[in-house]
């Protein structure tokens, strides 16, 4: 078969859904991420249920985090994630509103990316329990580019509006 490229960057993706059987969307998306080219799925968290960040007149979200090893650049990984969102019929009705699938690149190695279309580490990473707790489940000692560990950030979280499902 073809020679595999060296897979060299560990990245973490956050997944969220609150429409149309969200847990099924997340589970399917995890399998589809494992099919990205030059990408290996290393771990996935449990599913967590969270209150919406935005308008409260919408269903709870189901969230998960996956750990991958990838040869894709941050931009190509973003593109693959966006294509997958579209495949799941992502319709963004309003800011922080309902969606069938949302995929965020949380971390990409130790890299910091600051582009209009892409910020890594993800801007909401440090205060969002629905990102930090699943991340802590798979990688509690993970050190962010800023030097803080996921475990430390979890200790700073005010209140958990989150439970495993």
Please identify every residue annotated as catalytic: 90, 99, 102, 104
Nearest to 25 by CA among 101, 119, 125: 101
Tokens of 84: 């997958």
Are the beta carbons of 71 and 9 closer than 8 angstroms? yes
How far apart CA 98 and CA 17 sit, in angstroms, is 8
What DSSP line would sit under 112-126, residue for residue? -EEETTEEES-TTTT
Diameter over CA atoms, the chain: 51
């Amino acid at each position: 078969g073809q020679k595999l490229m060296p897979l060299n960057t560990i990245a973490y993706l956050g997944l969220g859904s609150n429409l149309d059987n969200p847990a099924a969307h997340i589970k399917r998306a995890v399998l589809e991420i494992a099919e990205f080219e030059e990408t290996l799925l290393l771990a996935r968290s449990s599913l967590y249920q969270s209150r919406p960040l935005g308008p409260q007149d919408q269903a709870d979200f189901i969230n998960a985090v996956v750990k991958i090893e990838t040869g894709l650049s941050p931009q190509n990984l973003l593109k693959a994630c966006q294509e997958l969102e579209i495949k799941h019929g992502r319709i963004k009705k309003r800011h922080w509103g309902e969606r069938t699938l949302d995929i965020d690149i949380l971390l990409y190695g130790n890299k910091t990316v600051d582009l209009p279309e892409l910020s890594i580490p993800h801007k909401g990473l440090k205060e969002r329990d629905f990102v930090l707790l699943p991340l802590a489940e798979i990688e509690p000692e993970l050190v962010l580019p800023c030097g803080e560990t996921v475990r430390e950030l979890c200790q700073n979280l005010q209140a958990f509006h989150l439970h495993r499902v």
